[in-house]
């Protein structure tokens, strides 16, 4: 019993299906810092890929991917700060919570973009270049209409968006980096367990943030290593 009351300090009671979990102040702080600290590294990561680019198409791809990374950590940080300070800003908080969810769809599309743009794909698979953005837009429309109403449907949408575009990799002749890509995907999936554990595990949402950061770092490394090779030194 003593242990349970000790944990209670760091965690509130689990929310009902139709309500949002209310983090403790410790959890709010962890939620903010775990993503706010990554905004600047994401910006630097984008600049690095842009510098390594060989031609306009690679540069544009670096910008799209980098902006996806920056947007994810920035929007998430702003939402968590507002959610922490809140009370009189309920509608602003609600709006940022929707943005926090919408940005995940665009982040997934942006994460696939370097692979879809810079690797050779089969004629049918090449359509995935625009289809990922269509999926992100469809997911956003869903969030604006049914935000928080059907949490399992929302999760199913994220998983579909996360895995379906990977089907095009079967048409790639060059499979370099795909094991890193799969490992990153595995880390995201592990993170989902914590994403769904608010009120069961203390700091569950911040742990989810850490898994997102680790998975994004693994994917960044694969993109940097295999898709943006530095030109051979002569
Ligand atoms: Zn978050």
152 vs 110, residue with greater confidence: 110
Cβ-based burial of 112 (10 A; exposed 0-12, middle 13-18, buried ≥19): buried
Q: How many CB atoms lie within 10 A of CB 206?
A: 21
**Protein residues with C-beta less than 5 angstroms from the ion ligand 1:** 76
**For residue 147, how far is its CA from the centre of ligand 1 (angstroms)?**
15
**For residue 57, how far is its CA from the centre of ligand 1 (angstroms)?**
32
**For residue 56, how far is its CA from the centre of ligand 1 (angstroms)?**
34
pLDDT surpasses 60 at 233: no
Q: Alpha-carbon distance 176 to 197, whole Å?
A: 35
**For residue 13, how far is its CA from the centre of ligand 1 (angstroms)?**
18
**For residue 54, how far is its CA from the centre of ligand 1 (angstroms)?**
35
Q: Alpha-carbon distance 181 to 1, whole Å?
A: 43
Q: Alpha-carbon distance 103 to 42, whole Å?
A: 15
- Give the tens place of pLDDT for each residue, 63-107: 999 999 999 999 999 999 988 887 567 788 888 889 999 999 999
**For residue 184, how far is its CA from the centre of ligand 1 (angstroms)?**
18
Predicted pLDDT at 3: 47
Annotated binding site: 80, 205, 209
**For residue 171, how far is its CA from the centre of ligand 1 (angstroms)?**
34
Annotated binding site for Zn(2+): 80, 205, 209
How many angstroms separate the most distant Cα atoms in the chain? 68
**For residue 209, how far is its CA from the centre of ligand 1 (angstroms)?**
6
Query: Domains in the chain, please, with CATH?
Result: 23-227 (1.20.1070)
Q: DSSP letter at 121? A: -
Whether the CB-CB separation of 117 and 134 falls below 8 Å is answered with: no
- Give the tens place of pLDDT for each residue, 161-219: 999 998 888 888 888 999 999 999 999 999 999 998 888 889 999 999 999 999 999 99
Q: Which of 8-17, 36-45, 173-182 has the lowest mean pLDDT?
A: 8-17
**For residue 142, how far is its CA from the centre of ligand 1 (angstroms)?**
19
**For residue 31, how far is its CA from the centre of ligand 1 (angstroms)?**
6
């Amino acid at each position: 019993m003593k242990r349970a009351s000790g944990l209670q300090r760091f965690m509130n009671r689990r929310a009902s299906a139709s309500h949002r979990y209310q983090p403790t102040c410790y959890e709010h702080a962890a939620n903010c810092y775990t993503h706010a600290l990554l905004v600047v590294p994401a910006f630097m990561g984008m600049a690095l890929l842009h510098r390594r680019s060989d031609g306009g198409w690679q540069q544009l791809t670096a910008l799209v991917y980098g902006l996806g990374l920056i947007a994810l950590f920035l929007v998430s940080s702003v939402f968590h700060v507002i959610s922490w300070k809140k009370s009189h800003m309920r509608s602003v908080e609600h709006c940022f919570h929707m943005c926090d969810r919408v940005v995940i769809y665009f982040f997934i599309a942006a994460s696939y973009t370097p692979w879809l743009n810079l690797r050779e794909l089969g004629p049918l698979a090449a359509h995935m270049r625009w289809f990922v953005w269509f999926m992100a837009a469809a997911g956003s429309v869903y969030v604006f209409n049914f935000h928080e109403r059907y949490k399992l449907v929302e999760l199913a949408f994220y998983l579909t968006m996360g895995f379906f575009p990977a089907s095009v990799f079967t048409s790639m002749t060059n499979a370099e980096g795909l094991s890193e890509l799969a490992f990153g995907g595995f880390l995201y999936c592990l993170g989902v367990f914590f994403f769904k554990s608010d009120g069961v595990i203390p700091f569950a949402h911040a742990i989810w943030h850490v898994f997102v950061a680790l998975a994004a770092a693994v994917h960044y490394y694969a993109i940097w290593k295999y898709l943006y090779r530095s030109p051979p030194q002569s």
